[in-house]
Structure 1
Amino acid sequence: MNLLFFLLSIFLAVMFAAKKYNNSGYKDASGHSYFDTMTDSGRKGEYLIYRYLERLDGQHKLLANIYLPKADGTTTEIDLIMISATGIYVFESKNYSGWIFGDENSKFWTQSLKGGKKFRFYNPIWQNKKHISVLQNHLGLGSEMFRSYIIFSEHCELKKMFVHSPEVKVMNRDVMFKEMALDVAHLANRLSILEINQIYNDLSRYALADAATKQAHIDAMQWRN
């Protein structure tokens, strides 16, 4: 009886979470099913960020998994974009655990896990800077229109983090909503509702990429590495 109750509780919890997912705009924005998202750490992190952004006040539009073409014929993949009156916010999601050490000026950052295991990963500020550069060139807008957010899971601790650029923020996901709400509330308006919709409609063409586009992006990344 206890086992049956336990299994029923799990089933109901999954059904509730799936319903919440289906009610989120992330499903339509990304094209990913609940199962595909929950079984992929990266997608799950993006979904959780998207849910926070949906709750923000004011006129804004959200995009997920944009494969934007570059001048060399390859693409850059942008996790999440929010277009609002105060500018264009570009998000790089890192759904990591452990301790994170990083400096904006260092090419590689370090993830330290229990047991002494350490892993290096490419500086996500530099990674997102490249995304913003492609986005800026595509839209023909000045750099002042863009803000870079590097979002880590709340399951990691940012031990030593040095960020020098005022338009760049690095934080855990559980404090992101408060930081974003402050930005949206206090930064000067730069875009009209018409401009927000125009930019959204333009970039929407590069969402929901087909399998061939995704594979070409992966192949190009592997070739560069």
Structure 2
Amino acid sequence: MALNASIAVIVGGFLDIAALKLLYPMAKGQVGEWRVRSAISGLGEAQLHDIILPDDRGLTQIDHLVLTPTGIFVLETKNYTGKIYTYGRRKDWVQYIGRRKNAMHNPQDQNYRHRKAVEHLAPGVPVQDWVLMIGDAQFPNGKPDGVLTLRELKQALRRLDAGDVSPQIMQAWRALKTASKTDMVTRKAHLWSLPGGQFGMIRSLMGKVMLFIGTALLVAGFAG
């Protein structure tokens, strides 16, 4: 392999590794949402996935909504590892991965906002929020109420999926479908409004550009 080709391979490999590190958090979250969507397919009367709804603070993104005869369920997916300590809905979760300690926004508090957005669009309809844990995280001080594993979620939805959906609940579901947005303009507006959202967008763009350039250099290097 010529010197220039070797340099292209080295630089391309470095860029690809750096790009994957930048894109990993986003990819991990998307894989988690896909796993939940696949696992609950066919459960409930209808489902909506990865939608954005308006609320009193602007826009909020919801991973999954499930329609059942007993009401509407709001699901937030988290793909976490390590040991997690919880101290109530309004307190941050504390995650330990080895000796590394991370304070994380409590997903139950996050999903509470989602539930309120749904309740506003579906007045008088029972709405419940659950947090789905699909990683191998452990809760040494006990898993909080409302935090479910994927198996527990499927069991709960099967129990609740009995009978017919009332006209009131169906009307509320139609209102949610009408209000929900999935277009890129709305997604960018939502991300831009989040704390750190601008950095996240830049990080994602940088990762994609670096991955494209790195892969192109690898191909050129090996071809040379």
Shift of 1:217: 0.8
8 A Cα contact 1:103 1:161, kept in partner: no
- Offset from partner CA, 1:40-69 (integer Å, 9 cap, x none): 11121112112222243xx51100112111
Tell me which residue corresponds to 2:122: 139
Match 1:44 to one of 31, 39, 58? 31
8 A Cα contact 1:152 1:173, kept in partner: yes
- Offset from partner CA, 1:156-208 (integer Å, 9 cap, x none): 22222364xxxx511222432223323446xxx6942x445433332223445
Greater relative contact order (Cα 8 A, min sep 6): structure 1 or 2?
2
Equivalent residue pairs, number: 174
Matched, 1:60 2:45: yes
SS in 1 for 2:146: strand
Q: Which runs of 5+ in 2 are unaligned?
A: 1-22, 199-224
Tell me which residue corresponds to 1:18: none
Tell me which residue corresponds to 2:129: 148
Shift of 1:106: 4.1
Tell me which residue corresponds to 1:220: 193
Provide the C-alpha distance between the structure 2 equivalents of 1:174 and 1:117, rounded to a whole number of angstroms: 29
Identity of aligned residues (%): 23
Q: Write out aligned runs for 1:24-103 (5 A).
A: 40-56=27-43, 60-72=45-57, 74-103=58-87
Matched, 1:198 2:171: yes
Provide the C-alpha distance between the structure 2 equivalents of 1:190 and 1:154, rounded to a whole number of angstroms: 34
When residues 154 and 179 of structure 1 are mapped into structure 2, their CA distance, relative to the original with a 3 A threshold, is farther
SS in 1 for 2:56: coil
**Of Structure 1 and Structure 2, which has the larger fraction of its residues in strand?**
1
Shift of 1:136: 0.6
Q: Which runs of 5+ in 1 are unaligned?
A: 1-35
Q: Normalising by structure 1, what TM-score?
A: 0.67
8 A Cα contact 1:97 1:153, kept in partner: no
Q: Which has the larger radius of gyration?
A: 2
Match 2:138 to one of 136, 157, 160? 157
Matched, 1:124 2:101: no
Provide the C-alpha distance between the structure 2 equivalents of 1:82 and 1:101, rounded to a whole number of angstroms: 28
8 A Cα contact 1:99 1:112, kept in partner: yes
Equivalent residue letter for 1:133 = K
8 A Cα contact 1:96 1:156, kept in partner: yes
Equivalent residue letter for 2:159 = L
- Offset from partner CA, 1:120-171 (integer Å, 9 cap, x none): 11111111111111111122225xx0111111124222222364xxxx5112
When residues 50 and 203 of structure 1 are mapped into structure 2, their CA distance, relative to the original with a 3 A threshold, is same
- Offset from partner CA, 1:70-111 (integer Å, 9 cap, x none): 235x21111100011011111011111111211334420012
Tell me which residue corresponds to 1:19: none
